[in-house]
Amino acid sequence: MAMEGERFATLSVRQGALRGRRRCTPAGNAFLSFQGVPYAKPPVGELRFKAPVPLGAWSGVRDAIEPGNQCVQYDGFAKAIVGDEDCLFLNVFTPCLSSESANGTSLAVLFWIHGGGFLSGSSNMFQPDPFMDNGVILVTINYRIGPLGFLGLDTLEAPGNAGLKDQRMALLWVKENISVFGGDPNNITLFGQSAGGASVHFHVLSPLSKGLFRRAVVQSGSALLARNVARDPAGRAERVARAAGCDARTAREPAALLRWLRAAPAPALVAAADAAKTDEERRRGVLFVLVPCVEPPHPGAFLPARPEELLRRADASRVPLVFGITTHEGMLNLPVTLLRALAHSVRGAEGLAAAEAQALAELASHLERLLPDDLDLRRPERSRRLLRRVKDFYFDGQELSEDTLQGLVNLYTDVNYASGILRAADEHSRLGSPVYLYEFAFRGLLNYVGAALRSKVQGVCHGDELAYQFRIPGLPDPAPESAEALVRRRMGRLWANFATTGNPTPSLNEEIPTTWLPFTDIAPNYLRISENLTVQSDLLKERMQFWTSLYNS
């Protein structure tokens, strides 16, 4: 590793030389930052919808001092389609500052997969400082999302899951090159949140990713949630094409449809992904229709079967796992469902309150729209009986109204997050994987997602833990002696410990005074992360038992 004065450093990976930057955390710890590093060929033209292709060598020194492109997506804040189809870039952050320290050190590697519902997001917003203070290497990646990453025609030419295969290609790049940065290629821990958490779980189950990582952390996501695996992916792809302007005849012929989709402008496909929702999907508050899918049989299939089947197979991964949720995940869905359900009829702030009231009344009349797709509600008598039980359990027998919004948040939390996550923790534990479970319960100044929603229900929202794991641009750094700073230090230490040793609390000190006990069927322990760290038992036991009884009935 060659140092260039105080600001820059140059090193050589298999593909060529990279020029990165020296940086420093607020705590005063120096690290090196290499951003915008390409890990595959640009997935454009004939490579659109295909598995990523390894990148060849480049000549000279490539600057790696700025983030790479994010994938094409709709930006709700800018109200515009942003990003670029050439988006397969990663970032490496390492505390190793010289060739001497790199050669003498073999650091654990944390590999971050961002969330965003498989249709939005980027790694570029996640700054590494808390991990740099804890002596581990952090890798963050961009990957194809939306129609470019998760459109599948159920054919060998476009089988789907390109975004998951991008993640795997980035993981292969890390295995090949991370030792140059002082990292241990045999000690890589995947972690991700929301769709990123589900992606991590898909890697745990996929035969293509076996042996590429040692441990995994699944935050607020699960491959076992029905909404994360597409039914009829080819039908969904045809809907997107029709919404983007493809004629009916072309849309019905797979080869012609694929040619049309490859020629279509990427922004048009992104816009069409939302327009392709059916009326029923809009009424149900479905946020995304393009998600991972089971692929037709072929050697490169990332998901050759449904996750439940992959979990039962003898070669299912036995890697150590952390699963976790926030206390009120469903806060995210509350305003989204109530307001987006009628968003097409609302212009600006005017009429928003009336639209919310109308949407709530509409939802109250069709509560079955909130229930999982795999809960058979086709028979009216059965549907009425199950809905009565749901109302009795979550709303104390009352109708859905502003007075029962807390019950609605709990319902969203259980259906969209907790049921699949806790089921996954239980299944993997029974199969012999070491499992740790947590509940993030801290409410502080960095809970930026929940604060942005201005929800009528207070709690710890989906995504509220992220600013305690990373520095997020636009958010202030907490005062060193504040509770927020303590929680951030604890999160960094717990995750670094797990990545390094497989045990999040191998030793105790003033900041980590509690042993995080494993989760088993006999001792269903979990760590409650708040102002204090406390080990508790049977997370959401009554609510999960309710769903078990509902399915058993």
- Is 329 among the catalytic positions? yes
Cα dihedral sign for 394, 396, 397, 399?
A: negative
- Is 462 among the catalytic positions? yes
DSSP state of 208: G
Given 329, 356, 439, 465, the catalytic residue: 329
- Is 298 among the catalytic positions? no
**Cα distance between residue 231 and residue 229, in whole Å:** 7
**Cα distance between residue 192 and residue 198, in whole Å:** 8
- The answer to whether the beta carbons of residues 363 and 391 sit under 8 Å apart is no
Cα distances (angstroms) measured from residue 180 to each of 1, 19, 101, 292, 496: 8, 13, 11, 33, 20
Phi and psi at residue 3, to the nearest 5°: -95, 140
Cα–Cα nearest to 332, from 285, 289, 291, 292:
285
Given 120, 122, 179, 194, the catalytic residue: 194
Given 295, 462, 465, 484, the catalytic residue: 462
**Cα distance between residue 162 and residue 44, in whole Å:** 12
With b meaning 16 or more CB within 10 Å and e meaning fewer, what string describes 20-40? bbbbebeeeeebbbbbbbbbb
Cα–Cα nearest to 417, from 252, 263, 223, 273:
223
Percent of the chain as helix, strand, coil, to the nearest 5 = 40, 20, 40
Catalytic residue list: 194, 329, 462
